Structure 1
Amino acid sequence: MTPLADPWPAPRPSAPVERVVSLPGSKSLTNRALVLAALADAPSVVRRPLRSRDTLLMAAGLSAMGVGVVDEGDDWRVTPAALTSDAEVDCGLAGTVMRFVPPVAGLSSGTIAFDGDPHMRQRPVGEVLSALAGLGVDIDDGGRGSLPFVVRGAGSVRGGTVVIDASASSQFISALLLAGARYDTGVDVRHDGKPVPSLPHIEMTVAMLRARGVEVDDSDPNRWAVAPGPITATDEAIEPDLSNAAPFVALAATTGGAITIRDWPRSTTQPGDELRDVLTRMGCDVALDDAGLTVRGSGALHGVDLDLHDIGELTPAIAALCALADSPSHLRGVGHIRHHETDRLAALATELGNLGADVTEHPDGLSIRPASLRGGVFRTYADHRMAHAGVIIGSAVEGVLVEDIATTSKTFPDFAGAWLDLTGTDLAGQ
């Protein structure tokens, strides 16, 4: 593959884009399916998984502890095993690896060392580690509540009730629930703090557990109880990643074209499904049928007032569209995305502002007013969602240069190639 230019010239199509797009699988579903398959009562297959940096790190981390994860055509066959080996787990920039694997490591009889990219040492994981310590797991994090840390497993975890503050990430709760059925007494997770962000991701976790025969009680607000018992081996076909659809459906809006995303599920727990409502509010025509999800741009984008608390990962793409809208927008409820791959609110305010956008940063969101945008370098801070925002702006504004477009490989291998193909741009020089 030809090395990508850096910064990368984001293509601006000269005509409305009308295409059908097939997306890679969901990262959220793939990594949850891998963890559950590793803890199941027999081998199973994860069908059509996403193969990206985050999911390859998850597969490698589980393999390092002794789980069999092998290629079977386009699928992964996962074979549970006694977790007896000492291991090192590279979390990269994957929050799911850093948070979901330690509860599994507690079931090991080995010593499991965790570390990742430098920025990951700033991302929160202390609530998960403290909870595991409260359940009887030996954790050595030097009192930092962050990477690097070591989990010294005893072959089993006592389990019980834990109270955590999950207001920084719903992954804190999902991490404990995914492994909880394998704990001696299960796990009863209670949240005490500001509202939990991205609740659909917890609902995704609960649905996947129930599909494998695990009893989960979520009848009380801010409480999730997993009963002890087996996790039934279940082959799972991974849905397309609906959050990764954001820049593609945005292209319909910015060019006045029509984009169809194939295999869009009629029913899903993925928060990316909310794109249908967001784009409708912004003036697009949105239709879901047997062909998939089709978004048609109207030639104009309208501002919106949205609480994105449950769909924070979509904020960069939506903010980019708002910067191109013909009326003001206010995006709120997403203070927690300051702790994602980067401080996404500060990064969006800075980078959109550098291209001429009129943006006010708030503690929990952004206000964006219509302004004339110009070309320039759009920095991504090693954050794939920031790169999505950059290419969306570039599809409507000449001369946008996206720094480190390769960071999109975190959840979408060869995103740049797919984007160039979609926009009808020659690969030469890109």
Structure 2
Amino acid sequence: MAVHIKAPHEAAVPFSPSSRPPSVEIRHPDYDAGHALLFRFPAFDDGIEYNIVWTACCIVLGNAWTRAEADRPYLSLTQTRGSPALVVPADGILSVGAYYLHDPIFATDEESPYPITPNFHHWEFPHNNVPSLWLESHGIQPNPTRLYATSPGNFRDKVLVRDESCRMTLSRGGVEQAYWVPISADDWFNDNMMERYHSEDTSIGVRDLSNTILLRADVHKIWDSKDLVMHMLSAHDKQEKLELWHNRQPHTLYGIRPEFVFARFAWTIFNNELFRIFNSRRPQGWKIRVREDDPKAETRKHVIQHAFKRADIPLAPFQQEKKHKRTPETIGDLMSPTDYDDYVENPNYWFYSVSRGEMVRWSDEEGESDGDYDSDSPRGLQEGSFE
């Protein structure tokens, strides 16, 4: 009896040449045209949801939705300070085009552009002030009874028992635990005292069940590329991802804290393709709002500084503490979030390649490195490290 060979799989999405989609641009009104672009949101749906754009703008202005209503930022079609605010569209969709983000607090300050938060590390989580839209359950269910009936031993098993399959594809093979606030942001997590949202007393840093989601490995990689938070937020070479994942409702989510989902959104918007103001170099520099305080202090201090290029942005206080240490956290600076998650789970699979200047993973199947082995590797390969 002959073995039946199945035909090759068809492409998940038929290939067709694609061009950059139209966009919604958000500009800083106090800078010249060549240096004013704050955000460029791809408008895959002939626009983008107004609340996504406005919340992102408020984040870079220091959580400005927490201000009194008269002092909150607004969008306008014109650049002049004090310009009338755009009327929020009835359908909630901001049309393709260019808009200016005005900050009323600085409306009468003719000498100083308003400052912006330059990256995720300098952003402070708004405890007790998360926008109400993000605190709604959106179908998130309590942890299923099976989680408590089986008493899974380790952390990874808990995620597997709770979710059972990839929450985007229902695949049961090749799945991985992913994090809403990624492991690479563990220092930020601790500095912002996010442990108050832990679901378990034994949790450490980002490693809490309510900060996880089970994803298939390829989806996990997209998830950590800052392209996607159930909505595609970047446009470069994304045709297949757009067709498969844009505005795609996940399967039932269990036990997730909405505060971690909101932090994930903030982490995602600080990427060079979406948040673009530092992609050029302005001779006069930009005004930035950065953290400058004792990382152990209970109060947070923000100061206004100048940055002439991205490299001028100072480290946040909690980053400065570890600047000269070679720890798993600083090793994370050399790796993508997905690879770093794997490093934390399987540290003996990785070594540092001096010649490449990067962390390299050993091949699981062949017991050989993906590249050259360096004798001064901080870890090397230890006997019995492969399962």
More strand by share: 1
Q: Give the alignment's TM-score, normalised by structure 1.
A: 0.23
Q: Give the alignment's TM-score, normalised by structure 2.
A: 0.25
For CA contacts below 8 A with separation 6 or more, give which structure has more relative contact order.
1
More helix by share: 1
